Amino acid sequence: MCYRVRWEELESDRPVEHAMSYNGSHWYGGAESSIQHWPIVITGQQAPKPFVTSDIYSNRHDFGGILERYWLSSNATAIKINDSVPFHLGWNDTEKVMYFQARYQDSPYKPHPGQLPYSELSYRVCVGSDVTSIHKYMVRRYFNKPNKVPSKAMFQHPIWSTWALHKTEIDQEKLLQYAANIRKHRFNCSHLELDDRYTSSYGEFEFDPVKFPNATGMFQKLKADGFLVTLWTHPFINYNSVNFGVGVEKGLFVREPMGMLPALVRWWNGIGSILDFTNPDARDWFSSHLRALRSKYGVVSFKFDAGETNYLPWQFSTRVPLKDPSTFTRRYTEMAIPFNERAELRVGYQSQNISCFFRLIDRDSVWGYELGLKSLIPTVLTISILGYQFIMPDMIGGNVYPNRTHGSQRLPDRELYIRWLELSAFMPAMQFSIPPWEYDAEVIQIAQRFTALHETLVAPRVLELAGEVLGTGDPIIRPLWWIATGDETAYKIDSQFLIGDDLMVAPVLEPGKQERDIYLPAGRWRSYKGEVFDNKGPLHLTDYPVDLDEIAYFVWM
């Protein structure tokens, strides 16, 4: 049963707000966040702020790059905020409430030209018999669905990125050596991902002749050796790029509020302007350069980085006015459609039908819930509930960024790397950058075994579920309450997950541990060790032994 809730205020300088109590229930959904918990953990107080996409690696208190106006409760209640609302979200942990607010004042939301600037807070509350069934209903009724499944190879074989290993120091010699080492150590490869700084400046679409003196020959060599290649790209044109003047002359950039001058923005690689993807000319210009790279070098696709609205100025003008700034994220994700067989995005807003892989924002090489190993499962479950099913966790072991990694700055902690690798093997896609051979022979052997397990056990099941996603939108990676809807314990478990209904995974996520507690939903389960557990109700396994080179998983019989 669904109810429409509608509040409006005719005075433009007054917000419309509704406080909703979450006491006594567990909530899921909303947005990717820097500190991710499952279910949502609300701490402190937050005045309502714009619910728009942001880069949470740079702005850790904002909402993330993948978000939807949707929340789901363990009491079988679901909430969908209407698209027309200038929506702001706040909370108060002491009072156990979330605040839904609609306002235009001091906000990046703008009414359409000619529209009266009054706020309306409108949303639907739907109630079902259990949490799983109400979510299925909401997805079918309100969410976009993917219309195709990405390349089968991306599910089967690892993607190998240059980023965490080489950062911006990548060059032709290092890329060829990276590829040679993948073959030397007998690993499969979906494709190589050539990341940041292969061009002379940001906003250009040709290889730096100093770092890549024979790009054509390099691509021919990689192709002969059986490697496909994707390239990193982004929506920024820096002011020192030869294309900046082109963009100004052609009117390709997001503009200042009055619409006369291109807006300058600061991003992590400098200062420039951002392409206006509401403008057909800008879309055509950008995509023509990507097609040229594909034609000239045989590039198979692209890693589309950024796209969050926080890189837009607070006040800005676009060719097509944007009432909701997150629509800019949607327009950017549409650029991946012609390349979605092997494309990668890190943002999404009403973008489930883009039908490509969505990558979690960069992870730090740490164990915890703040962009660390423990955040992977809560984040994957969250964006699964938001309708994004072709999920790529970030690079195995994290990005080893200076000042954000404990211990060695060159490599992730060895134990952390192994546990990260094991968990990634049970995700829809695996992505390496720091390679196993940077450690030792044992790590190489563990990596070989788990990439093989991913290919033979996980990928076939995920591909089967991926086909079903096109019709149902149901998650591939599922919370335990999906099959245990009446169990209070299942609502709170954030370190286990299901692949479909019949493969349950329980990784070790704590340093120094070779055992863990495991929750088994009711049913007959066979462990990876061959043990059979036939339980009429939930079963708790205490201190279940899991060696460093193992991950606990169970198959429903």
- Assign residue 211 the CATH number of its domain: 3.20.20.80
Residues in the chain: 557
Mean pLDDT of the region 532-550: 96
> Is the predicted pLDDT of residue 202 greater than 60, yes or no?
yes
Same domain as 438, residue 345: yes
State residue 369's pLDDT score.
97
Does the residue 147 lie in any domain? no
For 5-71, give the DSSP string.
EEEEESSTTS-EEEEEE-TTS-EEEEE--SB--SS----SEEEEEE-----TTTSTTS--SBEEEEE
- Residue 189: CB partners within 8 Å, gap ≥ 6? 157, 158, 159, 160, 179, 182, 226, 227
State residue 405's pLDDT score.
63
State residue 15's pLDDT score.
79
Same domain as 116, residue 238: no
State residue 20's pLDDT score.
72
pLDDT in tens, 237-290: 999 999 999 999 999 999 999 878 999 999 999 999 999 999 999 999 999 999
Same domain as 538, residue 495: yes
State residue 6's pLDDT score.
64
What residues make up the domain containing 7?
Answer: 2-142
Quickly state the pLDDT bin for 146 (edges 50, 70, 90). Answer: very high
Tell me the CATH number at 527: 2.60.40.1180
> Is the predicted pLDDT of residue 12 greater than 60, yes or no?
no
Amino acid at 413: D
SS3 453: helix
Domain final residue pick, 91, 120, 142? 142
Q: Is 412 or 6 the better-scoring residue by pLDDT?
A: 412
Distance CA 555, CA 557 (A): 6
Residues in a beta bridge with 523? 535
Under 8 Å between Cβ of 345 and 376: no
Q: What percent of the chain has pLDDT over 70?
A: 96
Domain final residue pick, 449, 474, 499? 474
State residue 95's pLDDT score.
87
Under 8 Å between Cβ of 73 and 25: yes
State residue 7's pLDDT score.
61
SS3 386: coil
Number of domains in the chain: 3
Same domain as 312, residue 164: yes
Mean pLDDT, the chain, integer: 95
Mean pLDDT of the region 401-423: 85
> Is the predicted pLDDT of residue 407 greater than 70, yes or no?
no
